Structure 1
Amino acid sequence: MNNGSFEWAKGMIVLDRTQAEIAPVGDSFARDELLCQRVGEGRPPVCHLWRHPRAFVLGAKDSRLPGAPEAVRWLEREGYEPIVRGSGGAAVPLDDGVVNVSLIMPLSGTYAYGFRDDFTRMVELIKRTMAGYGLVVRHGEVEGSYCPGDYDLHIDGFKFCGIAQRRQVKAMIVSAFVNVAGSGDARAALVRRFYDVAGIGAEAGDYPDVIAGRTTSLEERGFAWGEGGLDASEGSDGLVSSFVGAIVRTLSYGDPVTALAVSPPHELPDASAIAEMRERLAIRYPIPR
Protein backbone atom coordinates (compact mmCIF):
# COMPACT_ATOMS: atom_id res chain seq x y z
CA MET A 1 0.00 0.00 0.00
CA ASN A 2 1.36 3.43 -0.94
CA ASN A 3 0.44 5.56 2.06
CA GLY A 4 2.52 8.46 0.77
CA SER A 5 0.18 9.09 -2.15
CA PHE A 6 -2.99 9.19 -0.01
CA GLU A 7 -4.90 7.55 -2.88
CA TRP A 8 -7.40 6.30 -0.32
CA ALA A 9 -8.41 9.91 0.47
CA LYS A 10 -9.67 10.68 -3.04
CA GLY A 11 -13.27 11.83 -2.96
CA MET A 12 -13.27 11.98 0.84
CA ILE A 13 -15.71 14.34 2.54
CA VAL A 14 -14.47 16.31 5.53
CA LEU A 15 -17.06 16.92 8.24
CA ASP A 16 -15.60 19.44 10.70
CA ARG A 17 -17.71 19.67 13.84
CA THR A 18 -14.98 20.95 16.17
CA GLN A 19 -16.78 24.30 16.45
CA ALA A 20 -20.30 22.85 16.63
CA GLU A 21 -22.74 23.48 19.46
CA ILE A 22 -22.34 21.25 22.50
CA ALA A 23 -24.38 18.05 22.27
CA PRO A 24 -24.33 14.73 24.17
CA VAL A 25 -21.03 12.98 23.51
CA GLY A 26 -23.04 9.96 22.38
CA ASP A 27 -24.19 11.95 19.34
CA SER A 28 -20.68 11.95 17.89
CA PHE A 29 -20.32 8.18 18.23
CA ALA A 30 -23.82 7.73 16.79
CA ARG A 31 -22.93 9.98 13.86
CA ASP A 32 -19.82 7.87 13.17
CA GLU A 33 -21.92 4.70 13.27
CA LEU A 34 -24.51 6.07 10.85
CA LEU A 35 -21.90 7.48 8.49
CA CYS A 36 -20.17 4.10 8.49
CA GLN A 37 -23.41 2.43 7.43
CA ARG A 38 -23.83 4.92 4.60
CA VAL A 39 -20.24 4.55 3.43
CA GLY A 40 -20.83 0.79 3.36
CA GLU A 41 -23.81 1.44 1.07
CA GLY A 42 -21.61 3.27 -1.43
CA ARG A 43 -21.53 6.85 -0.16
CA PRO A 44 -18.17 8.71 -0.23
CA PRO A 45 -15.66 8.10 2.57
CA VAL A 46 -15.67 10.64 5.39
CA CYS A 47 -13.19 12.28 7.72
CA HIS A 48 -15.18 13.35 10.78
CA LEU A 49 -13.48 15.79 13.18
CA TRP A 50 -15.11 16.60 16.50
CA ARG A 51 -14.50 17.44 20.15
CA HIS A 52 -16.40 17.64 23.44
CA PRO A 53 -15.73 20.05 26.33
CA ARG A 54 -15.93 17.57 29.20
CA ALA A 55 -16.47 13.85 28.62
CA PHE A 56 -14.83 10.60 29.67
CA VAL A 57 -14.79 7.65 27.28
CA LEU A 58 -14.54 4.17 28.81
CA GLY A 59 -13.41 1.10 26.95
CA ALA A 60 -15.59 -2.02 27.22
CA LYS A 61 -13.09 -3.63 29.59
CA ASP A 62 -13.04 -0.53 31.80
CA SER A 63 -16.81 -0.73 32.18
CA ARG A 64 -16.49 -4.22 33.70
CA LEU A 65 -14.01 -3.28 36.44
CA PRO A 66 -15.37 -3.93 39.96
CA GLY A 67 -15.37 -0.28 40.96
CA ALA A 68 -16.56 1.12 37.63
CA PRO A 69 -20.04 2.18 38.89
CA GLU A 70 -18.52 4.20 41.74
CA ALA A 71 -15.87 5.66 39.41
CA VAL A 72 -18.60 6.77 36.99
CA ARG A 73 -20.50 8.45 39.83
CA TRP A 74 -17.29 10.28 40.77
CA LEU A 75 -16.80 11.42 37.18
CA GLU A 76 -20.35 12.75 37.02
CA ARG A 77 -19.87 14.66 40.28
CA GLU A 78 -16.79 16.23 38.67
CA GLY A 79 -18.87 17.33 35.70
CA TYR A 80 -17.77 14.72 33.14
CA GLU A 81 -20.20 12.99 30.80
CA PRO A 82 -19.30 9.26 30.74
CA ILE A 83 -19.79 6.94 27.78
CA VAL A 84 -18.68 3.43 26.81
CA ARG A 85 -17.39 3.06 23.27
CA GLY A 86 -17.68 0.06 20.99
CA SER A 87 -14.22 0.30 19.47
CA GLY A 88 -11.11 -1.07 21.15
CA GLY A 89 -8.95 0.68 23.70
CA ALA A 90 -9.16 1.91 27.26
CA ALA A 91 -10.24 5.10 29.05
CA VAL A 92 -9.71 8.50 27.37
CA PRO A 93 -10.71 11.94 28.71
CA LEU A 94 -12.08 14.55 26.30
CA ASP A 95 -11.98 18.33 26.61
CA ASP A 96 -11.74 21.41 24.40
CA GLY A 97 -8.10 20.66 23.58
CA VAL A 98 -8.69 17.12 22.30
CA VAL A 99 -9.64 16.58 18.66
CA ASN A 100 -11.21 13.28 17.65
CA VAL A 101 -10.44 12.20 14.08
CA SER A 102 -12.56 9.45 12.48
CA LEU A 103 -11.62 8.05 9.07
CA ILE A 104 -14.74 6.26 7.79
CA MET A 105 -14.00 4.07 4.76
CA PRO A 106 -15.46 1.09 2.88
CA LEU A 107 -14.00 -2.40 3.18
CA SER A 108 -13.58 -2.75 -0.57
CA GLY A 109 -11.68 -1.42 -3.57
CA THR A 110 -8.71 0.80 -2.76
CA TYR A 111 -9.61 0.54 0.93
CA ALA A 112 -9.42 -3.26 1.18
CA TYR A 113 -6.22 -3.78 3.13
CA GLY A 114 -5.33 -5.68 6.27
CA PHE A 115 -6.31 -4.79 9.81
CA ARG A 116 -2.97 -3.17 10.62
CA ASP A 117 -2.85 -1.24 7.34
CA ASP A 118 -6.09 0.43 8.38
CA PHE A 119 -4.30 1.83 11.44
CA THR A 120 -1.38 2.84 9.21
CA ARG A 121 -3.58 5.21 7.24
CA MET A 122 -4.25 7.24 10.38
CA VAL A 123 -0.61 7.04 11.45
CA GLU A 124 0.59 8.40 8.10
CA LEU A 125 -2.06 11.12 8.05
CA ILE A 126 -0.98 12.52 11.40
CA LYS A 127 2.74 11.98 10.79
CA ARG A 128 2.63 13.93 7.55
CA THR A 129 0.45 16.65 9.06
CA MET A 130 2.87 17.22 11.94
CA ALA A 131 5.92 17.04 9.69
CA GLY A 132 4.69 20.31 8.20
CA TYR A 133 5.29 21.88 11.61
CA GLY A 134 8.73 20.36 12.08
CA LEU A 135 7.49 17.72 14.54
CA VAL A 136 8.76 14.16 14.11
CA VAL A 137 6.05 11.65 15.05
CA ARG A 138 6.75 7.98 15.71
CA HIS A 139 4.45 5.12 16.66
CA GLY A 140 4.68 2.29 19.16
CA GLU A 141 3.28 1.67 22.63
CA VAL A 142 4.22 4.24 25.26
CA GLU A 143 4.34 2.35 28.55
CA GLY A 144 2.61 4.20 31.37
CA SER A 145 0.36 6.26 29.08
CA TYR A 146 -3.43 6.00 29.17
CA CYS A 147 -5.17 3.89 26.51
CA PRO A 148 -1.86 2.26 25.52
CA GLY A 149 -1.50 0.35 22.25
CA ASP A 150 0.82 -0.63 19.42
CA TYR A 151 -0.21 2.46 17.47
CA ASP A 152 0.35 5.10 20.10
CA LEU A 153 1.69 8.23 18.40
CA HIS A 154 4.44 10.03 20.27
CA ILE A 155 6.98 12.83 19.97
CA ASP A 156 10.30 12.31 21.79
CA GLY A 157 8.67 9.37 23.58
CA PHE A 158 5.69 11.38 24.89
CA LYS A 159 2.30 10.12 23.71
CA PHE A 160 -0.21 12.61 22.28
CA CYS A 161 -2.52 10.34 20.26
CA GLY A 162 -4.12 6.90 20.44
CA ILE A 163 -5.86 4.97 17.66
CA ALA A 164 -8.72 2.45 17.69
CA GLN A 165 -10.82 0.72 15.06
CA ARG A 166 -14.40 -0.43 14.65
CA ARG A 167 -15.62 -2.54 11.71
CA GLN A 168 -19.08 -3.03 10.32
CA VAL A 169 -19.93 -5.53 7.56
CA LYS A 170 -19.03 -3.26 4.65
CA ALA A 171 -17.17 -0.31 6.19
CA MET A 172 -14.90 0.66 9.05
CA ILE A 173 -14.08 3.53 11.40
CA VAL A 174 -10.46 4.22 12.30
CA SER A 175 -10.60 6.74 15.13
CA ALA A 176 -7.92 8.74 16.91
CA PHE A 177 -7.92 11.07 19.87
CA VAL A 178 -5.34 13.82 19.45
CA ASN A 179 -4.24 15.95 22.40
CA VAL A 180 -3.83 19.21 20.50
CA ALA A 181 -3.82 21.71 23.38
CA GLY A 182 -3.61 21.60 27.17
CA SER A 183 -1.77 19.36 29.59
CA GLY A 184 -1.10 15.70 28.88
CA ASP A 185 -0.17 15.10 32.51
CA ALA A 186 -3.44 16.62 33.76
CA ARG A 187 -5.42 14.23 31.54
CA ALA A 188 -3.29 11.29 32.67
CA ALA A 189 -3.90 12.21 36.31
CA LEU A 190 -7.66 12.19 35.70
CA VAL A 191 -7.47 8.72 34.13
CA ARG A 192 -5.30 7.48 36.99
CA ARG A 193 -7.86 8.73 39.54
CA PHE A 194 -10.59 6.91 37.59
CA TYR A 195 -8.65 3.64 37.78
CA ASP A 196 -7.84 4.20 41.46
CA VAL A 197 -11.57 3.87 42.08
CA ALA A 198 -12.68 1.57 39.26
CA GLY A 199 -9.81 -0.86 39.84
CA ILE A 200 -10.52 -1.61 43.49
CA GLY A 201 -10.80 -5.40 43.72
CA ALA A 202 -9.51 -5.97 40.18
CA GLU A 203 -6.67 -8.30 39.26
CA ALA A 204 -3.24 -6.95 38.40
CA GLY A 205 -3.10 -6.11 34.69
CA ASP A 206 -6.86 -5.64 34.32
CA TYR A 207 -6.32 -1.95 33.55
CA PRO A 208 -3.42 0.27 32.46
CA ASP A 209 -0.91 1.52 35.01
CA VAL A 210 -1.03 5.23 34.15
CA ILE A 211 1.91 7.29 35.39
CA ALA A 212 3.00 10.91 35.10
CA GLY A 213 5.40 12.13 32.45
CA ARG A 214 4.31 9.85 29.61
CA THR A 215 1.48 11.81 27.98
CA THR A 216 1.67 15.21 26.29
CA SER A 217 -0.10 17.50 23.83
CA LEU A 218 0.99 19.00 20.53
CA GLU A 219 0.96 22.40 22.19
CA GLU A 220 3.44 21.14 24.80
CA ARG A 221 5.68 19.72 22.03
CA GLY A 222 5.87 23.04 20.17
CA PHE A 223 2.89 22.90 17.78
CA ALA A 224 2.84 26.32 16.09
CA TRP A 225 -0.08 28.52 15.12
CA GLY A 226 0.31 27.73 11.45
CA GLU A 227 -0.23 29.56 8.23
CA GLY A 228 -3.15 31.66 9.42
CA GLY A 229 -1.05 33.71 11.84
CA LEU A 230 -3.44 32.98 14.70
CA ASP A 231 -3.17 34.98 17.89
CA ALA A 232 -2.20 32.95 20.97
CA SER A 233 -5.04 34.65 22.86
CA GLU A 234 -7.44 32.40 20.95
CA GLY A 235 -6.31 29.54 23.22
CA SER A 236 -7.48 25.99 22.53
CA ASP A 237 -9.90 27.11 19.81
CA GLY A 238 -7.08 28.66 17.80
CA LEU A 239 -4.84 25.62 18.11
CA VAL A 240 -7.70 23.30 17.21
CA SER A 241 -8.53 25.37 14.14
CA SER A 242 -4.89 25.30 13.09
CA PHE A 243 -4.74 21.52 13.54
CA VAL A 244 -7.97 20.90 11.63
CA GLY A 245 -6.79 23.08 8.76
CA ALA A 246 -3.53 21.13 8.63
CA ILE A 247 -5.37 17.79 8.52
CA VAL A 248 -7.55 19.01 5.63
CA ARG A 249 -4.51 20.23 3.70
CA THR A 250 -2.82 16.86 4.16
CA LEU A 251 -5.87 14.93 2.97
CA SER A 252 -6.13 17.26 -0.01
CA TYR A 253 -2.69 16.29 -1.29
CA GLY A 254 -3.09 15.52 -4.98
CA ASP A 255 -6.89 15.47 -4.94
CA PRO A 256 -9.03 18.13 -3.24
CA VAL A 257 -11.54 16.94 -0.65
CA THR A 258 -15.03 18.33 -0.22
CA ALA A 259 -15.29 20.43 2.93
CA LEU A 260 -18.69 20.49 4.59
CA ALA A 261 -20.03 23.22 6.87
CA VAL A 262 -20.89 22.57 10.52
CA SER A 263 -24.55 22.39 9.44
CA PRO A 264 -24.31 19.37 7.11
CA PRO A 265 -26.42 18.88 3.98
CA HIS A 266 -29.54 16.75 4.00
CA GLU A 267 -27.80 13.55 2.87
CA LEU A 268 -26.00 13.26 6.22
CA PRO A 269 -27.76 11.76 9.27
CA ASP A 270 -30.46 13.99 10.72
CA ALA A 271 -31.09 14.69 14.40
CA SER A 272 -33.73 11.99 14.83
CA ALA A 273 -31.54 9.29 13.29
CA ILE A 274 -28.63 10.34 15.48
CA ALA A 275 -30.79 10.28 18.63
CA GLU A 276 -32.13 6.82 17.77
CA MET A 277 -28.63 5.44 17.14
CA ARG A 278 -27.34 7.05 20.33
CA GLU A 279 -29.96 5.17 22.33
CA ARG A 280 -29.20 1.90 20.54
CA LEU A 281 -25.48 2.24 21.30
CA ALA A 282 -26.24 3.11 24.93
CA ILE A 283 -28.15 -0.17 25.27
CA ARG A 284 -25.42 -2.14 23.50
CA TYR A 285 -22.60 -0.51 25.53
CA PRO A 286 -24.21 0.47 28.85
CA ILE A 287 -22.60 2.81 31.32
CA PRO A 288 -21.89 0.87 34.56
CA ARG A 289 -24.33 1.82 37.29
Structure 2
Amino acid sequence: METNLSLLQQDKWRIIDQSSLGPMFEALQSFAMDDTLCTSVGAGVSPATARSWVHHQTIVLGIQDTKLPFLEDGLAYLKKQGFRFIVRNSGGLAVVLDSGVLNLSLIFPDTEKGIDINRGYDAMWALIKEMFSDFNAEIEAREIEGSYCPGSYDLSINGKKFAGISQRRIRKGVAVQIYLCVSGSGQNRAKLIQEFYQVAKKDQETKFTYPTIHPEVMASLSELLHTELTIQDVMLRFLNVLKDRSGKLYGEPLSGQELEWYEVNYQRIVERNEKIKVDF
Protein backbone atom coordinates (compact mmCIF):
# COMPACT_ATOMS: atom_id res chain seq x y z
CA MET A 1 0.00 0.00 0.00
CA GLU A 2 2.77 2.45 0.92
CA THR A 3 4.52 1.88 -2.41
CA ASN A 4 1.33 2.71 -4.29
CA LEU A 5 0.67 5.76 -2.13
CA SER A 6 4.21 7.11 -2.67
CA LEU A 7 3.15 8.74 -5.96
CA LEU A 8 0.74 10.84 -3.92
CA GLN A 9 3.62 12.18 -1.83
CA GLN A 10 4.25 15.61 -3.35
CA ASP A 11 5.89 18.75 -1.98
CA LYS A 12 2.86 20.68 -3.20
CA TRP A 13 -0.61 19.66 -4.31
CA ARG A 14 -2.52 22.26 -6.27
CA ILE A 15 -6.29 21.80 -5.82
CA ILE A 16 -8.90 22.78 -8.39
CA ASP A 17 -12.33 21.97 -6.98
CA GLN A 18 -15.10 22.07 -9.59
CA SER A 19 -17.45 19.71 -7.77
CA SER A 20 -20.12 22.31 -7.01
CA LEU A 21 -20.33 24.43 -10.19
CA GLY A 22 -23.81 23.13 -11.01
CA PRO A 23 -25.68 22.01 -14.15
CA MET A 24 -24.22 24.70 -16.44
CA PHE A 25 -20.70 23.26 -16.06
CA GLU A 26 -20.28 21.02 -19.12
CA ALA A 27 -18.20 17.88 -19.50
CA LEU A 28 -16.44 19.30 -22.58
CA GLN A 29 -14.91 21.90 -20.28
CA SER A 30 -13.63 19.16 -17.96
CA PHE A 31 -11.74 17.25 -20.61
CA ALA A 32 -10.19 20.50 -21.86
CA MET A 33 -9.20 21.27 -18.25
CA ASP A 34 -7.37 17.99 -17.76
CA ASP A 35 -5.53 18.32 -21.08
CA THR A 36 -4.50 21.83 -20.07
CA LEU A 37 -3.29 20.67 -16.67
CA CYS A 38 -1.34 17.81 -18.26
CA THR A 39 0.45 20.38 -20.42
CA SER A 40 1.04 22.74 -17.49
CA VAL A 41 2.26 20.08 -15.06
CA GLY A 42 4.36 18.42 -17.78
CA ALA A 43 6.02 21.76 -18.59
CA GLY A 44 6.75 22.50 -14.93
CA VAL A 45 4.42 25.53 -14.91
CA SER A 46 2.23 23.87 -12.29
CA PRO A 47 3.03 21.39 -9.52
CA ALA A 48 1.11 18.12 -9.28
CA THR A 49 -2.60 18.97 -9.40
CA ALA A 50 -5.72 17.31 -8.04
CA ARG A 51 -9.03 18.25 -9.63
CA SER A 52 -12.55 17.31 -8.59
CA TRP A 53 -15.58 17.68 -10.83
CA VAL A 54 -19.29 16.85 -11.05
CA HIS A 55 -21.48 17.00 -14.15
CA HIS A 56 -25.25 16.78 -14.19
CA GLN A 57 -27.24 14.36 -16.40
CA THR A 58 -24.46 13.67 -18.89
CA ILE A 59 -23.44 10.52 -20.75
CA VAL A 60 -19.77 10.49 -21.72
CA LEU A 61 -19.26 8.30 -24.78
CA GLY A 62 -16.06 6.68 -26.00
CA ILE A 63 -14.85 6.76 -29.60
CA GLN A 64 -16.08 3.19 -30.20
CA ASP A 65 -19.59 4.17 -29.09
CA THR A 66 -19.82 6.58 -32.03
CA LYS A 67 -19.53 3.58 -34.38
CA LEU A 68 -22.72 1.93 -33.15
CA PRO A 69 -24.94 1.10 -36.16
CA PHE A 70 -28.02 2.91 -34.81
CA LEU A 71 -26.23 5.65 -32.87
CA GLU A 72 -28.84 8.29 -33.66
CA ASP A 73 -31.56 6.13 -32.13
CA GLY A 74 -29.44 5.61 -29.03
CA LEU A 75 -28.72 9.33 -28.64
CA ALA A 76 -32.40 10.15 -29.14
CA TYR A 77 -33.18 7.71 -26.30
CA LEU A 78 -30.66 9.42 -24.00
CA LYS A 79 -32.08 12.83 -24.82
CA LYS A 80 -35.59 11.58 -24.06
CA GLN A 81 -34.34 10.46 -20.64
CA GLY A 82 -33.08 14.00 -19.99
CA PHE A 83 -29.38 13.38 -20.59
CA ARG A 84 -26.81 15.29 -22.59
CA PHE A 85 -23.96 13.44 -24.27
CA ILE A 86 -20.40 14.12 -25.33
CA VAL A 87 -17.53 12.09 -26.77
CA ARG A 88 -14.38 12.21 -24.66
CA ASN A 89 -10.86 12.55 -26.01
CA SER A 90 -9.58 9.38 -24.35
CA GLY A 91 -10.35 5.67 -24.44
CA GLY A 92 -13.13 3.69 -22.83
CA LEU A 93 -16.87 3.38 -23.39
CA ALA A 94 -20.07 5.06 -22.20
CA VAL A 95 -20.35 6.14 -18.56
CA VAL A 96 -23.05 7.99 -16.62
CA LEU A 97 -22.34 11.28 -14.86
CA ASP A 98 -24.90 12.94 -12.60
CA SER A 99 -25.09 14.87 -9.34
CA GLY A 100 -24.27 11.71 -7.35
CA VAL A 101 -21.07 10.90 -9.26
CA LEU A 102 -17.77 12.50 -8.18
CA ASN A 103 -14.90 12.59 -10.66
CA LEU A 104 -11.33 12.98 -9.48
CA SER A 105 -8.23 13.67 -11.56
CA LEU A 106 -4.64 13.41 -10.36
CA ILE A 107 -2.18 15.08 -12.72
CA PHE A 108 1.50 14.22 -12.31
CA PRO A 109 4.63 15.20 -14.24
CA ASP A 110 5.97 12.25 -16.22
CA THR A 111 9.54 11.78 -15.01
CA GLU A 112 12.54 10.97 -17.21
CA LYS A 113 12.10 7.30 -16.39
CA GLY A 114 8.37 7.67 -16.92
CA ILE A 115 5.50 6.75 -14.64
CA ASP A 116 4.59 3.13 -15.34
CA ILE A 117 0.95 2.95 -16.46
CA ASN A 118 0.02 0.46 -13.74
CA ARG A 119 1.67 2.66 -11.11
CA GLY A 120 -0.75 5.45 -11.98
CA TYR A 121 -3.73 3.11 -11.67
CA ASP A 122 -2.40 1.63 -8.44
CA ALA A 123 -1.90 5.09 -6.93
CA MET A 124 -5.56 5.97 -7.55
CA TRP A 125 -6.71 2.61 -6.19
CA ALA A 126 -4.57 3.12 -3.07
CA LEU A 127 -5.98 6.63 -2.65
CA ILE A 128 -9.57 5.36 -2.71
CA LYS A 129 -8.77 2.56 -0.25
CA GLU A 130 -7.19 5.11 2.09
CA MET A 131 -10.19 7.43 1.77
CA PHE A 132 -12.55 4.70 2.98
CA SER A 133 -10.23 2.83 5.32
CA ASP A 134 -12.56 3.43 8.28
CA PHE A 135 -15.14 1.09 6.73
CA ASN A 136 -14.88 -2.67 7.06
CA ALA A 137 -14.95 -3.21 3.31
CA GLU A 138 -12.39 -4.64 0.89
CA ILE A 139 -12.05 -2.54 -2.25
CA GLU A 140 -10.88 -4.71 -5.15
CA ALA A 141 -9.45 -3.68 -8.52
CA ARG A 142 -10.45 -6.11 -11.29
CA GLU A 143 -12.72 -6.16 -14.29
CA ILE A 144 -16.39 -6.55 -13.41
CA GLU A 145 -18.11 -8.29 -16.28
CA GLY A 146 -21.55 -6.92 -17.03
CA SER A 147 -20.65 -3.38 -15.93
CA TYR A 148 -20.55 -0.41 -18.27
CA CYS A 149 -17.11 0.68 -19.48
CA PRO A 150 -15.46 -2.45 -18.04
CA GLY A 151 -11.71 -2.46 -17.39
CA SER A 152 -9.04 -4.19 -15.37
CA TYR A 153 -9.11 -1.38 -12.79
CA ASP A 154 -12.83 -1.40 -12.05
CA LEU A 155 -13.18 -0.79 -8.30
CA SER A 156 -15.68 -2.97 -6.50
CA ILE A 157 -16.90 -4.17 -3.12
CA ASN A 158 -18.31 -7.70 -2.90
CA GLY A 159 -18.25 -7.96 -6.69
CA LYS A 160 -20.26 -4.78 -7.29
CA LYS A 161 -18.60 -1.98 -9.21
CA PHE A 162 -18.77 1.60 -7.97
CA ALA A 163 -15.88 3.22 -9.88
CA GLY A 164 -13.73 3.07 -12.99
CA ILE A 165 -10.23 4.44 -13.56
CA SER A 166 -8.73 5.77 -16.78
CA GLN A 167 -5.48 7.49 -17.78
CA ARG A 168 -4.49 10.15 -20.26
CA ARG A 169 -0.89 11.07 -21.15
CA ILE A 170 0.02 14.15 -23.14
CA ARG A 171 2.96 16.55 -23.25
CA LYS A 172 4.90 14.97 -20.37
CA GLY A 173 1.85 15.06 -18.10
CA VAL A 174 -0.11 12.08 -16.76
CA ALA A 175 -3.77 12.43 -15.76
CA VAL A 176 -5.22 9.55 -13.75
CA GLN A 177 -9.00 9.93 -13.66
CA ILE A 178 -11.72 8.13 -11.73
CA TYR A 179 -15.49 8.37 -11.53
CA LEU A 180 -16.96 7.44 -8.14
CA CYS A 181 -20.65 6.58 -7.89
CA VAL A 182 -21.14 8.14 -4.47
CA SER A 183 -24.93 8.09 -4.05
CA GLY A 184 -28.07 7.10 -5.90
CA SER A 185 -28.75 3.80 -7.63
CA GLY A 186 -25.90 2.08 -9.43
CA GLN A 187 -28.38 -0.30 -11.03
CA ASN A 188 -30.47 2.53 -12.47
CA ARG A 189 -27.40 4.09 -14.05
CA ALA A 190 -26.47 0.72 -15.54
CA LYS A 191 -30.02 0.20 -16.86
CA LEU A 192 -29.74 3.50 -18.74
CA ILE A 193 -26.55 2.37 -20.51
CA GLN A 194 -28.02 -1.10 -21.06
CA GLU A 195 -30.99 0.41 -22.88
CA PHE A 196 -28.74 2.77 -24.84
CA TYR A 197 -26.76 -0.16 -26.26
CA GLN A 198 -29.91 -2.13 -27.00
CA VAL A 199 -31.37 0.80 -28.94
CA ALA A 200 -28.13 1.85 -30.65
CA LYS A 201 -26.95 -1.65 -31.61
CA LYS A 202 -30.17 -3.68 -31.83
CA ASP A 203 -29.28 -7.22 -32.97
CA GLN A 204 -26.79 -6.16 -35.60
CA GLU A 205 -23.36 -7.78 -35.71
CA THR A 206 -20.48 -5.36 -35.11
CA LYS A 207 -16.71 -5.68 -35.42
CA PHE A 208 -16.27 -4.23 -31.95
CA THR A 209 -17.71 -6.17 -29.01
CA TYR A 210 -19.86 -3.87 -26.90
CA PRO A 211 -20.52 -4.85 -23.27
CA THR A 212 -23.62 -6.79 -22.33
CA ILE A 213 -24.79 -4.87 -19.29
CA HIS A 214 -26.03 -6.66 -16.17
CA PRO A 215 -27.27 -3.82 -13.93
CA GLU A 216 -27.14 -5.90 -10.75
CA VAL A 217 -23.31 -5.85 -10.76
CA MET A 218 -23.21 -2.07 -10.21
CA ALA A 219 -23.92 -0.03 -7.08
CA SER A 220 -23.05 3.25 -5.40
CA LEU A 221 -20.76 3.64 -2.40
CA SER A 222 -23.75 4.69 -0.29
CA GLU A 223 -25.47 1.42 -1.16
CA LEU A 224 -22.36 -0.72 -0.63
CA LEU A 225 -21.24 0.90 2.64
CA HIS A 226 -24.80 1.25 3.98
CA THR A 227 -24.09 4.90 4.72
CA GLU A 228 -25.63 7.99 3.17
CA LEU A 229 -22.61 9.67 1.60
CA THR A 230 -22.63 13.03 -0.17
CA ILE A 231 -20.20 14.56 -2.66
CA GLN A 232 -19.05 16.90 0.12
CA ASP A 233 -18.37 13.95 2.46
CA VAL A 234 -16.17 12.26 -0.12
CA MET A 235 -14.41 15.52 -1.03
CA LEU A 236 -13.41 15.96 2.61
CA ARG A 237 -11.98 12.43 2.70
CA PHE A 238 -10.10 13.10 -0.55
CA LEU A 239 -8.55 16.35 0.68
CA ASN A 240 -7.60 14.85 4.04
CA VAL A 241 -5.64 12.03 2.39
CA LEU A 242 -3.82 14.48 0.09
CA LYS A 243 -3.10 16.75 3.06
CA ASP A 244 -1.45 13.84 4.86
CA ARG A 245 0.67 13.15 1.76
CA SER A 246 1.89 16.63 0.92
CA GLY A 247 3.98 19.47 2.25
CA LYS A 248 1.43 22.04 1.10
CA LEU A 249 -2.13 21.99 -0.19
CA TYR A 250 -3.43 25.10 -1.96
CA GLY A 251 -6.16 26.16 -4.39
CA GLU A 252 -5.36 28.04 -7.58
CA PRO A 253 -7.41 28.42 -10.80
CA LEU A 254 -5.96 28.48 -14.32
CA SER A 255 -3.94 31.60 -15.11
CA GLY A 256 -1.61 33.12 -17.72
CA GLN A 257 -0.41 30.65 -20.34
CA GLU A 258 -2.78 28.00 -18.95
CA LEU A 259 -5.80 30.02 -20.07
CA GLU A 260 -4.45 30.11 -23.63
CA TRP A 261 -3.81 26.36 -23.60
CA TYR A 262 -7.31 25.82 -22.26
CA GLU A 263 -8.94 27.76 -25.12
CA VAL A 264 -7.05 25.68 -27.70
CA ASN A 265 -7.94 22.40 -25.96
CA TYR A 266 -11.57 23.41 -25.54
CA GLN A 267 -11.98 24.32 -29.21
CA ARG A 268 -10.37 21.04 -30.22
CA ILE A 269 -12.82 18.91 -28.24
CA VAL A 270 -15.79 21.05 -29.32
CA GLU A 271 -14.85 20.55 -32.97
CA ARG A 272 -14.48 16.81 -32.43
CA ASN A 273 -17.96 16.66 -30.92
CA GLU A 274 -19.50 18.77 -33.67
CA LYS A 275 -18.83 15.89 -36.04
CA ILE A 276 -21.53 13.96 -34.25
CA LYS A 277 -24.47 15.85 -35.69
CA VAL A 278 -27.79 14.32 -34.80
CA ASP A 279 -31.13 15.73 -35.91
CA PHE A 280 -33.99 15.18 -33.48
Offset of residue 180 of structure 1: 0.5
Offset of residue 269 of structure 1: 4.4
What amino acid maps onto 1:29 in structure 2? Answer: F
How high is the TM-score relative to the length of structure 2?
0.89
Query: CA-to-partner distance for each residue in 1:198-243, whole Å, 9 max, x for gaps?
Result: 2132438621110121001111012646xxxxxxxxxxxx610010
Offset of residue 5 of structure 1: 3.9
Query: Which residue is equivalent to 2:140?
Result: 138
Task: Return the alpha-carbon distance in structure 1 between the equivalents of residues 6 and 134 of structure 2.
Answer: 16
Q: Are 1:277 and 2:261 matched, yes or no?
A: no
CA-atom RMSD in angstroms: 2.3
5 Å-filtered alignment, 1:153-172, equals 153-172=155-174
SS at match of 1:252: helix
Query: Which residue is equivalent to 1:74?
Result: 77
Q: Are 1:62 and 2:77 matched, yes or no?
A: no
Task: Return the alpha-carbon distance in structure 2 between the equivalents of residues 275 and 193 of structure 1.
Answer: 35
Q: Where does the alignment leave 5 or more consecutive residues of structure 1 unmatched?
A: 226-237
Q: Are 1:266 and 2:249 matched, yes or no?
A: no
Offset of residue 75 of structure 1: 1.5
| Closer, same or farther: CA 202–86 of 1 in aligned 2, 3 Å | farther
Q: Are 1:101 and 2:127 matched, yes or no?
A: no
| Closer, same or farther: CA 186–275 of 1 in aligned 2, 3 Å | farther
What amino acid maps onto 1:217 in structure 2? Answer: S
How high is the TM-score relative to the length of structure 1?
0.86
Offset of residue 9 of structure 1: 3.7
| Closer, same or farther: CA 245–67 of 1 in aligned 2, 3 Å | same
| Closer, same or farther: CA 205–277 of 1 in aligned 2, 3 Å | closer
Query: Which residue is equivalent to 1:251?
Result: 242
Query: Does the aligned pair in 1 maintain the 2:12–2:47 contact within 8 Å?
Result: yes
Query: CA-to-partner distance for each residue in 1:132-164, whole Å, 9 max, x for gaps?
Result: 333321110111111111000001110000011
Q: Where does the alignment leave 5 or more consecutive residues of structure 2 unmatched?
A: none
Task: Return the alpha-carbon distance in structure 1 between the equivalents of residues 80 and 15 of structure 2.
Answer: 35
| Closer, same or farther: CA 135–259 of 1 in aligned 2, 3 Å | farther
Offset of residue 69 of structure 1: 2.4
Q: Give aligned pairs, total.
A: 273
Query: Which residue is equivalent to 1:184?
Result: 186
Query: Which residue is equivalent to 2:19?
Result: 18
Query: Which residue is equivalent to 1:207?
Result: 210
| Closer, same or farther: CA 10–156 of 1 in aligned 2, 3 Å | farther
Query: Does the aligned pair in 2 maintain the 1:82–1:287 contact within 8 Å?
Result: no
Task: Return the alpha-carbon distance in structure 2 between the equivalents of residues 256 and 223 of structure 1.
Answer: 34
Query: Which residue is equivalent to 1:228?
Result: none
Task: Return the alpha-carbon distance in structure 2 between the equivalents of residues 254 and 106 of structure 1.
Answer: 17
Report % sequence identity.
Answer: 32
Task: Return the alpha-carbon distance in structure 1 between the equivalents of residues 10 and 218 of structure 2.
Answer: 29
Q: Are 1:193 and 2:181 matched, yes or no?
A: no
Offset of residue 25 of structure 1: 1.7
Task: Return the alpha-carbon distance in structure 2 between the equivalents of residues 9 and 288 of structure 1.
Answer: 43
Query: Which residue is equivalent to 2:233?
Result: 242
Query: CA-to-partner distance for each residue in 1:21-41, whole Å, 9 max, x for gaps?
Result: 432221111111111111111
Query: Does the aligned pair in 1 maintain the 2:147–2:214 contact within 8 Å?
Result: yes
Task: Return the alpha-carbon distance in structure 2 between the equivalents of residues 288 and 180 of structure 1.
Answer: 32
Query: CA-to-partner distance for each residue in 1:37-84, whole Å, 9 max, x for gaps?
Result: 111110211111001111000011111111122211222232211111
Query: Which residue is equivalent to 1:3?
Result: 4
Q: Are 1:174 and 2:176 matched, yes or no?
A: yes
